[in-house]
Structure 1
């Protein structure tokens, strides 16, 4: 995939996360700046989702750790073990918010 295609696909990932957060009952602020989507929770904790264009990966940072995902067969799969991006983002948001969250 070209860099332009990667940027389009990763923009769609950011948009999906932001749209899903519009419907939640808990307090979370999202801020997208360039390649980074920062989610800040009421207690000041953060979940960071960013894209790394050079590797064509999306990275996730949360209390549980840091993770890298690559698009394989239409799914963002963890490059260092088991896991799928949206499932892991949902788990991180739930842990930080102290409330259930799902896409």
Structure 2
């Protein structure tokens, strides 16, 4: 994959994450702080736990760190997939956000 394509796919994912956070905040009537600086997104919850998502350009990966675990995702046919479990990013991300909201 070319770096330019990687950045386009990562930018699309980061835009989706921002929209998803707004949806979760409304759905669960909670405050979720979203900060984006370059290639890093920091999501802070009311319990002060964080989820950090960033690009790893040399590896062409997206990394997500949650209080419980870290994940590495590779883009396969337009989908970001965890390289350990094979689970899509959206599924692991949603599960991680809900865990923090309910914690």
Q: TM-score, normalization: structure 1? A: 0.89
- Taking only aligned residues, the RMSD between alpha carbons, in angstroms, comes to 1.3
Provide the rounded CA distance (Å) in 1 between the counterparts of 2:12 and 2:78: 13
Aligned to 1:2: 2
5+ residue gaps in structure 1? none
Quick check: 1:68 aligned with 2:72?
Answer: yes
SS in 2 for 1:70: strand
Between structures 1 and 2, the one with greater helix share:
2
Structure 2 unaligned regions, length at least 5: none
> Which of residues 30, 44, 48 is equivalent to 1:40?
44
Summarize deviations over 1:56-93 as a string: whole Å, max 9, x none.
Answer: 10001002200100011221111122311110000110
Moved more, 25-34 or 74-83: 74-83
> Which structure 1 residue ranges, 4+ long, deviate > 6 Å from structure 2?
none
Secondary structure in structure 1 of the residue aligned to 2:98: helix
- In the aligned structure 1, how far is the partner of 2:85 from the partner of 2:19? 27
Query: Which residue does the alignment assign to 1:94?
Result: 98
Tell me the number of residue pairs that the alignment of Structure 1 and Structure 2 aligns: 99
